[in-house]
Amino acid sequence: ADPTARVGPGGITQASPLRLAYLDAWLDEYRARYGAPLPAEVWTMHAFVLREERGSWGVDIPPGQDVAAGWLLPVDDHDNVESFKWQILTFRRWMADRGYGDRPLAITEFGILMPPDYGFGPERVGRFMTATFDFLLSARDPAIGLASDGGRLVQQWAWFSLADPLYPTGDLVDARHNGLTPLGLAYRQYVAATVRR
């Protein structure tokens, strides 16, 4: 067993008002069922910017929600950095308001799913990746960030994806040719420059 391992709930796809309402209902159900708050040691989330509409592209509607739509975002907003930042701040505020502000936050998945023929070529995806990395490395707030980590909002994150056959736009590796993609090269350059700072 790993004594440093932490247990937490599975992540939501994005920190939209609809999904936060779903999490509130879920926490209420947990408390009603077990008579105590959820003992989460860490919180996780995905941080995609996707449409919420029943039966449409995007992430659909969370279970138990009796609505037809939440965020009705156009495809072009998929790489909206301000929407990405808003989600992180909103989720951290949500954690703090519910007594989980002293827990780490890990973004277990984020990136670009839309294909190049929708306008998401390597340069555009690279700009989104580096802008989000810059934010994640620097974002702090003493009121809602993790105090034991200098007020940082996010403690860990993972870009999607290394190599995914269904959503290859954000791939860092070209598995067929055994090498880095243009985005993978940008990732490597970013990490090397960050390590030198």
Domain extent, residue 96, equals 17-196
Residue 10 domain flag: no
Global pTM value: 0.95
CA distances 185 to 48, 96, 171, 195, Å, are 22, 37, 11, 15
What is the pLDDT, as a whole number, of residue 196? 80
What is the pLDDT, as a whole number, of residue 136? 99
3-class secondary structure per residue, 87-113: HHHHHHHHHHHCCCCCCCEEEEEEECC
List average pLDDT for each run of 10 residues in the chain, which is 197 residues long: 92 95 96 97 98 95 94 97 98 98 98 98 98 98 98 98 97 96 98 88
Distance from C-alpha of 89 to C-alpha of 95, rounded to nearest angstrom: 10
In 3-149, at which residue ranges do the beta strands (DSSP E only) sit? 43-46, 105-111
Residue 40 domain flag: yes
Residue 25 domain flag: yes
Residue 125 domain flag: yes
Residue 2 domain flag: no
What is the pLDDT, as a whole number, of residue 54? 96
Residue 6 domain flag: no
What is the pLDDT, as a whole number, of residue 195? 86
Residue 179 domain flag: yes
Tally the domains of the chain: 1
Residue 9 domain flag: no
